[in-house]
Amino acid sequence: MKHTLYSSTVSVLLLTSGRAAFTASAADDRVAAEAQKAIEVFQRANSRLTNLFNGAAGFAVFPGVGKGGLIFGCEYGKGIVYEKGKPIGEASEINVGPQMGGQSFYEVIFFDTSEALAKFKQGHFEMSAELSAVAAEKGAALDTNFRNGVMVFTLARTGLMLQATLGSQKFKYKPLD
């Protein structure tokens, strides 16, 4: 009886941990597929961004950043980090502050230098009002320059948003296994 209970417990633990690993892997695959789709959407919206995707030391693509609130709100997104065009990790971003409305958008952060990418990977990267995002519409890449080794583009998916960000966007990086 004791042996059967032990075997059953071990079996349940193995099945549930295997399922959790499978679920996490499926979610990671979904984010990677969505990130690839977002890259294509950016390139269609502004063909000059293709040069940035090909020439940047690295970039982080957030395929579905969502934000919303009524007086006070939150912004959150999960994405994939690339170095020299190859996926190397996952990233998440969060921002909390005064907001009204709701919006979903694509976001890409380009890193001009290996040092800027390394700073992001080490968790020493915050985006504030000094480094604002540019709408990735036709011609936008022509008039935009890297600031401190970083350039950010967004492309609206849905919604309308009024926002006064007092804080800054915080990012977390996790290398791929």
| Structural domain boundaries in the chain | 40-175
Give the E-state strand segments of 84-121 in sequence order: 86-111
Selected residue with higher pLDDT from 95 and 7: 95
Q: How confident is residue 108, by pLDDT bands cut at 50, 70 and 90?
A: very high
- DSSP, res 147: B
User: What is the helix (H) or strand (E) element at residue 83, kind and residue range?
Assistant: strand 58-83
Cα 1 to Cα 4, 14, 71: the distances in Å are 5, 20, 59
> Token pair of 65, please?
């950043």
**Structure tokens given for 171:** 């990012």
pTM, to two decimals: 0.74
Residue that the structure tokens 């800054």 belong to? 168
